[in-house]
Amino acid sequence: MSEKVQLLANGNTYELDVVVGTEGDKGIDITKLQETTGYVTLDTGYKNTGSTTSAITYLDGDKGILRYRGYSIEEVAEKASFTEVMYLLLYGELPKTHELEAFNAKLSQAGEIPTQLDKILDAFPKDAHPMSILGAYFNGLSAHFSKDNAAVTDENILLVLAQMPTVVAHIQQWIRGGRFVDNNASLDYVANFLKMSFGEPGDSSDLNPIVVEAMDKLLILHADHEQNCSTSTVRIVGSSNANIYASMAGGIAALWGPLHGGANQAVLEMLEAIKADGGDTDKWIAKAKDKNDPFRLMGFGHRVYKNFDPRANIIKKACDNLLEALNINDDILDIAKRLEEVALKDEYFISRKLYPNVDFYSGIIYKALGFPTEMFTVLFALGRMPGWLSQWKELRLQKQPIGRPMQIYNGSGMRPYVDIKDR
């Protein structure tokens, strides 16, 4: 018999079904709660609310487990390529060789964006944040590719995946004052992206495979993270049947904030500030603990991970390897490691279960690859795009109703309108 929980309300006992996930996680089904009891639940910040069932990503925050479609993040990051992970997230299974080849071929042929759209860049001041430009491109793309763009089709999804690196590379070239480099269908997804980002038109030199591999791994580690802030935003926007580009633009806006994807930029800025301040990590740890100081240790803490973030462990190792391979000696890596060491021994961080998250070391890698700090969150978006699209696809295929949370109103009671001259 399926598990039930009892709710005592209005002097009545109500039985509520329990939904059990594959890994034994349990949720109380309250879909009929208001209808049967007159109550709604209140959960600011959704700390206890499951917004959906999902078969894409599994996360256990206490044990530091992250799996894409059942495959551990450690194994996927070590053995798969980013496009393989895209396929896995979208279709639920690892591709066979011919399936991956066909998928890659489709991606490499669909990356062009209308040249007219690049005029968007002229509308931005040179110091514009690239996330604002990315959002603008996506809203622009929804106008240029408006035919059936709300439909859940492979064609639409692959088009967005193919266009994303081109858009990001155009923003990157605009920032560095370079020229746009055409999509090269003979290169794989990540190599093509790096060429478009840093190359010159007509340049056929080979990329350093260490650089391509580091970028590929970072993108895999960002590919999906179940119902986080930006993904939930994508789902909410998508639930109104908004088109695919508008739904992704919602995710881009949510990701931008420093408590979410914007943290990778904030971490690097913090590390540079500590360096400029003489490298006194104790002082900055004290600032983070001071409740009268709004400063937080960026790249630390997570809503779900309460032991360690498995992505951070992998990125820390990748960071060490990349800097060594490229012979880069970056002081800020030492500062980051010192900060981590001090924080992990400090009662404040221990008692609140605050550990380095995915954003703590990723910026040091992006910096070593040559990206400017303000591009970091855009690169997070590049990695997260397959996750957003997979979640959008799942939501729409499940025919979920429009997302519309309830509230408990605590404003003024009914009162008569006061004429302006009498206020």
Active site residues: 302, 359
Query: Amino acid letter at 131?
Result: M
| Among the residue ranges 121-129, 160-168, 170-178, 291-299, the one whose residues contact ligand CMC (CB under 6 A) | 291-299
- Looking at 21-64, which runs of residues are DSSP E strands? 26-28, 57-60
Looking at the Cβ atoms of 135 and 301, the one nearer to ligand CMC is 301
Examine residue 260 and tell whether it contacts ligand CMC (CB under 6 A).
Answer: yes
**CA distance linking residue 208 with residue 219, whole number of Å:** 17
Looking at the Cβ atoms of 57 and 149, the one nearer to ligand CMC is 57
Positions in 293-322 near ligand CMC (CB under 6 A): 296-303
Figure out which of the listed residues 79, 176, 283, 352 binds ligand CMC, where binding follows CB under 6 A: 352
Positions in 49-88 near ligand CMC (CB under 6 A): none
Q: Is 43 exposed, middle or buried (0-12, 13-18, 19+ CB in 10 A)?
A: exposed
Min dist CB 358 to ligand CMC, Å, is 5
**Cβ 377 vs Cβ 168: under 8 Å:** no
Residue nearest to ligand CMC (CB): 301
User: Cα angle vertex 399, ends 395, 402, to 5°?
Assistant: 80
Helix axes 130-144, 154-176, angle to 10 degrees: 140
Q: Would you give the distance in Å from CA 185 to the centre of its chain?
A: 27
**Cβ 208 vs Cβ 194: under 8 Å:** no
Looking at the Cβ atoms of 84 and 224, the one nearer to ligand CMC is 224
Looking at the Cβ atoms of 90 and 229, the one nearer to ligand CMC is 229
Min dist CB 394 to ligand CMC, Å, is 20
Min dist CB 406 to ligand CMC, Å, is 21
Examine residue 383 and tell whether it contacts ligand CMC (CB under 6 A).
Answer: no
**CA distance linking residue 92 with residue 69, whole number of Å:** 6
**Cβ 154 vs Cβ 103: under 8 Å:** no
Positions in 269-288 near ligand CMC (CB under 6 A): 288
Given the rule CB under 6 A, which residues bind ligand CMC?
Answer: 228, 259-261, 263, 288, 296-303, 352, 354, 357-359
